[in-house]
């Protein structure tokens, strides 16, 4: 088993706390399910959100999914002109027996355009 990094992103329709929590939970659950991960496999999760999302920390959604003992960190994404708005990005580090080529990176709800090469 080795450490793998998994990427994911989700776009929200509005800066709304309940949508933030629901969308990030959906993203995290898909990342874990599609890569056969349990919370005990997680090493850390790093979140970024675009500067237009201020209603809640994405890490709150992870805590609500039972990731309270996993180190979580949030940061603001670089404010690039013309960038896709209302996006939460995730970098998850986990212990996994999967080969790097087998890792499924998850981009949902409009965020697929960020990485068409990786989006499922």
Active site residue 115: yes
**Is 109 tagged catalytic?**
no
Nearest to 10 by CA among 18, 1, 25: 25
Active-site choice (34, 109, 112, 115):
115
86 is catalytic: no
Is 77 a catalytic site residue?
yes
Cα-based angle 56, 24, 96 (whole degrees, multiple of 5): 130
The vertex-70 CA angle with 5 and 10, nearest 5°, equals 55
**Annotated catalytic residue 74:** yes
Catalytic residue among 7, 19, 56, 86: 7
Catalytic choice (22, 34, 74, 112): 74
Catalytic residue of the set 17, 63, 64, 69: 63
Q: Which backbone phi and psi does 30 adopt, to 5 degrees? A: -65, -40
Catalytic residue set:
7, 63, 74, 77, 89, 107, 115
């Amino acid at each position: 088993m080795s450490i793998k990094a998994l990427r994911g992103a989700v776009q929200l329709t509005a800066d709304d706390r309940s949508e933030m929590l629901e969308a990030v939970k959906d993203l995290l659950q898909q990342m874990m399910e599609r890569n056969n991960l349990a919370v005990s496999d997680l090493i850390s999760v790093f979140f970024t959100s675009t500067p237009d999302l201020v209603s809640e920390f994405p890490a709150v959604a992870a805590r609500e999914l039972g990731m309270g003992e996993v180190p979580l960190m949030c940061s603001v994404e670089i404010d690039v002109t013309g960038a896709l708005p209302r996006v939460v990005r995730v970098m998850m580090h986990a212990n996994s027996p999967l080969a790097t080529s087998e890792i499924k990176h998850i981009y949902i709800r409009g965020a697929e355009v960020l990485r068409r090469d990786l989006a499922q």
